[in-house]
Amino acid sequence: MSYTLPTLPYADHALDPVITANTLSFHYGKHHQGYVTKYNAAIENTPFADTPLEDVIKQTAGDANQKAVFNNGAQIFNHTFYWNSMTPNGGGKATGKVLDLINDTWGDFDTFKTAFSDKAATLFGSGWTWLVKDGAKLAIVQTKDADTPITTGQTPLLTIDVWEHAYYLDYQNRRPDYINAFMDKLVNWDFANQNLG
């Protein structure tokens, strides 16, 4: 059973001008599709071929013999989660239960926003910054390369991709500008609330 590239939750131009259709065509159409193609090749004729993606990721995490399966599978998950973490006309202050938990954990939204933005800006190299539910509280975690919080028992609520290909065509080396635009104009707080369950 081959895995297919999930459909974007919006048109490829819907995030313009914050993230352009040009960036999405490369990031989604080339990078994300590339992970799907490599994942399918890696799981072909293995027990993973009929196993749900998240189960494969958890089963192969930390297994050096399954690095290709894990890296490509986790990158499929991470990218799909990232697309859903954004929405046209999104951003701004959190809403609903997520806002209540942000206030419980950080005191207020602005303190959280600064902490999240700083984590995303200071992650060295390639990776992801996540807002997760960790027990009764929320936490901000950085993951390197393809790593993902679903392997550590945390519940992801939203993520920002800080691999350079996520922003370089639009922002060049100005990662903080990309992060600010993501927070102010794109974050999908409805998606984050849905992930709380």
Asked if the 21-84 domain carries CATH number 3.30.390.10, the reply is no
What pLDDT is recorded for position 1?
67
Per-residue three-class SS string for the chain: CCCCCCCCCCCCCCCCCCCCHHHHHHHHHHHHHHHHHHHHHHHCCCHHHHCCHHHHHHHHCCCHHHHHHHHHHHHHHHHHHHHHCECCCCCCCCCHHHHHHHHHHHCCHHHHHHHHHHHHHHCCCCEEEEEEEECCEEEEEEEECCCCHHHCCCEEEEEEECCHHHCHHHHCCCHHHHHHHHHHHHECHHHHHHHCC
Query: Matching CATH topology for 21-84 and 96-195?
Result: no
Whole-Å CA distances, 153 to 15, 70, 149: 31, 16, 7
Q: 48 Cβ partners below 8 Å, 6+ apart? A: 42, 56, 59, 60, 69
Distance, in Å, from the CA atom of 178 to the CA atom of 170, rounded to the nearest integer, reads: 8
Q: Where are the domains of the chain?
A: 21-84, 96-195
What pLDDT is recorded for position 170?
80
What pLDDT is recorded for position 168?
82
What top-level class would CATH report for the domain 96-195? Answer: alpha beta
Could you say which residues of the chain have pLDDT below 70?
Answer: 1
Q: β-pairing, 155-161 with 137-144?
A: unpaired
Q: At what angle do helices 109-122 and 96-106 cross, to 10 degrees?
A: 80
pTM: 0.95
Tallying the residues shown for the chain, one arrives at 197
What pLDDT is recorded for position 169?
80
What pLDDT is recorded for position 122?
96
For 63-95, the pLDDT digits (tens) are 999 999 999 999 999 999 999 999 999 999 999
What pLDDT is recorded for position 185?
97
